[in-house]
Chains A and B, each alone.
Chain A
């Protein structure tokens, strides 16, 4: 009998976190809007650190403004900073959307960001006239001391649809809430939708903003804006879609709001990582659109199955894998390594969410392997655990690289951030093709680490 052993943090102190605070998720979400500009209502570090984090992961510009709270604002409130910050941003950058993202400091000070936003709107109206109406100013509450970056992402998507979605003619589209994933992942989702003759509205779409071509002749300068991102019109139109698929269980509020307010049905699932999760994604899209799975996707599925048949039993079966990172990606990945015949013996997430442990139980039953679930834990817990319970492979972000080095366990890089290798942001781990990519990556890593020393075993 397979079972799940949930191990929770037994200390107060957190050591090498596997999560960050809410504002990051909101900055990520707003960056996925065409001409969308996040303005963080907090200290300079609140934007600088996140911009640094995005820049090193995506190797792209990350333009995020800040209201630069200093001591006077801490004492007297941040009204002047936010009102003038919005105006300066609007007048100089002419964005379509300004997402006001709160922080620990602005929430503790108790700034009325909704009131300040109204003041800024009024001031802009005076200065710009009608044109001011084209700038959507949307407050997003993201107190840093509540939950994690996933909650901030969820709050942002929810604020965007609540503020913008308008009931109109049905549009035959499907809304996708992608979660905090890479440009490559979103492009794969688009490919799958296109293959099923379906147009998607991504809430939101960071694929081009965080992976933009270098084409000086086409680049919008002064101000620089990357191409792409979800347009305001699309965000409005999300109320008229056939359904919303959130592939992030931790960010379903926007989908629920659209269902409640505009009768757009929703499906909130694990991301399409591996065979069965991708099947489920396809079924969800199919359910909303009535379009059945295409021959093209069936072939892609067949290629993944073919590769699994060719290689999984031979090279991967029974190997132990430790997976750490964001909850949706780890859940998806745990199921996929199970499909490959491997054992996800340890899964660790820093973010707590009620669905996580029941999902692990399902995976444990499916795969027949015991899973130690490090729930709401950190990378130090992973390190200590792995010293006692060695595995063949680790899967997770770059923050685990020194642990992997010390323990001599190969690390498959996945999730956010990956800064010590290039190209991961361009690859997809989603969909049948993403499964193939992941499987090749895993298999080649196993071959290099465990077969190369007895190289004759690689002779065909």
Chain B
């Protein structure tokens, strides 16, 4: 039986279908149940749709103002949370006057009880007008519906239309209140649809080349995009539009003019690539730039598409020359280390194989907060027999996975990191990274380096006081920390 009821889930047996152990005899379409409602009180790690749209999709855009139509919380929590650096460079060669504008400001309507009773649209309108006055340099204003405004029925589209006309600047309403959809994934979808419907096709690029691409679903976490941009530009490919890392509002408006779309994060942004293909006939390919192998493969595919095969080879060769010796070193250190990847979505399938094939690690479990069917299919196809695949794991399952699968390292988020540490297992931040970027050839070295640092940090060999330490044990950093598992005290299994 491929589906597994974990011990900690005995009281919530509906979780069984979300936990799956890969077995070769299973029908191909057997995967964990996913993209369904969260079990209340289960201690899921998921976020909400608002987080999906502002936190993931639009928060990376460098030149727009965000007005969150909410009681104060959503606005406070939407402030500069993700590591999305931007340059001030605008498509017309000018500089945006405020550096790191996207990380610096968040605006909101701070709804009060009276607004909830009488409606908040007037306040939203005033707020948008004031926002424009405060930041006249911004190219557009984005406004967001939240649980409160979704429930009281404020019509954000109407306010957006009205203020757009009044201010002569585009105002876009994103209707993804927190309660919509099972996870933040719904917010990604709304973000894609809204930007497509309101922006794409409304402006023309200043110039075009035969080598124009859209890089879609790449948000420049810790500078990821800048690495990929360098490769593509060296090949002679022009990033006409990014969606949405280090991008400007206008770039999205002319995405229909690209020759090809590259979809990097396939969970959060395949939607817009599909829509652009459907309406404007721009084809897209799904790309993966994590690890040297995937990165090389995908650069070759892109090169082939544009007849730039040699250029692609040059980029690959020059980078491999640089990173191969370093990766060789890290492989020797990471060989056999057991890893549990708990990402938001696709990183679980981006990384599972490269960590095994290129770094000699063993992926013992993969999990995701909000992946859909296609993502789990890919995840399943890229892990080996016996690997655990979990949809939306909760914190008790997280603990059980640690006990049973004994990972040497966990890749997860900040909500999980410190719990893992308390249980004696190093955990590396994989959503916004630790010392990234992690993408591309150089990025993969950064990832290997960070994994190495985390696993080999001397602290993991000194967790407990010892009355009589073995002679010489403290003299050097041990080569292998696998003994940690042996010294780890047995769990009593006692319910606290």
Interface residues of A (CB under 8 A from B): 11-17, 19-21, 23-24, 35, 39, 42-46, 48-53, 55-56, 59-63, 65-71, 73-74, 80-82, 84-89, 91-94, 103-105, 108-109, 143-146, 148, 212, 214-217, 219-226, 380, 399, 402
Contact = CB atoms under 8 A, between A and B. Distances in A.
B37 A70 contact: yes
Contacts of A68: 37-40, 44, 46
A65 B39 CA distance: 10
Interface string B42-53: 111111111100
Contacts of B378: none
B41 A20 contact: no
B463 A49 contact: no
Contacts of A81: 40
Given A94-B495, A216-B424, A224-B399, A84 B51 contact: no
Given A20-B77, A69-B179, A103-B147, A223 B111 contact: no
Contact of B42 (A88, A105, A145): A88
23 contacts: A12-B123, A13-B131, A43-B177, A44-B183, A50-B77, A63-B395, A65-B43, A66-B38, A68-B37, A70-B38, A70-B182, A71-B179, A74-B179, A94-B496, A104-B70, A145-B71, A215-B463, A215-B464, A216-B463, A222-B396, A222-B495, A223-B399, A402-B104
List the 7 closest A-B pairs by CB distance, nearest first. Answer: A45-B48, A21-B73, A85-B41, A85-B40, A43-B178, A49-B77, A13-B127
A103 B111 CA distance: 13
A14 B109 contact: yes
Given A17-B110, A48-B51, A88 B76 contact: no
Interface string B147-170: 110111000000000000000000
B209 interface: no
Interface stretch (B259-267, B410-418, B442-450, B471-479): B410-418
B145 to A, nearest CB: 12
Interface stretch (B223-231, B287-295, B486-494): B486-494
Given A21-B76, A45-B77, A215-B464, A67 B151 contact: no
A70 B400 contact: no
A321 B493 CA distance: 53
The bracket for how many chain B residues form the interface is 35 or more
Given A15-B134, A69-B179, A23 B40 contact: no
Contacts of B127: 11-13
Given A85-B40, A108-B148, A380-B105, 11 more contacts: A17-B72, A21-B76, A43-B49, A44-B184, A45-B48, A74-B147, A103-B147, A145-B115, A214-B424, A222-B8, A222-B495
A145 B80 CA distance: 22
Nearest to A89: B41
Contact of A49 (B51, B80, B395, B494): B51
A67 B11 CA distance: 16
Contacts of A82: 40
A221 B494 CA distance: 8
A87 B39 CA distance: 11
A223 B180 contact: no
Contact of A224 (B11, B39, B112, B419): B419
Contacts of A216: 422-424, 463-464, 488-489
Contact of A214 (B38, B81, B421): B421
Nearest to A54: B415
Contacts of A148: 72
B109 A13 contact: yes
Contact of A17 (B79, B148, B184, B395): B79
Nearest to B128: A13
Nearest to B178: A43
A45 B185 CA distance: 12
A69 B38 CA distance: 9
Given A12-B123, A105-B151, A66 B72 contact: no
Given A20-B77, A93-B396, A223-B496, A43 B41 contact: no
Contacts of B110: 12, 14, 17
A169 B12 CA distance: 43
Contacts of A62: 415
Contacts of A71: 179-181
A74 B151 contact: yes
A447 B119 CA distance: 53
Given A74-B179, A108-B116, A144-B72, A12 B48 contact: no
Contact of A61 (B104, B130, B419): B419
A291 to B, nearest CB: 36
B100 interface: yes
A37 B80 CA distance: 28
A109 B71 contact: no
Nearest to B108: A14
A146 B115 CA distance: 10
Contact of A51 (B75, B415, B493): B415
A44 B152 contact: no
Nearest to B183: A44
A196 B184 CA distance: 51
A61 B418 contact: yes
A9 B314 CA distance: 58
Nearest to A152: B73
A92 B395 CA distance: 11
A91 B11 contact: yes
B193 interface: no
Interface string B377-400: 000000000000000000110011
B77 A44 contact: no
Given A11-B130, A104-B71, A225-B496, A45 B79 contact: no
B73 A23 contact: yes
Given A223-B495, A380-B134, A109 B72 contact: no
B113 interface: yes
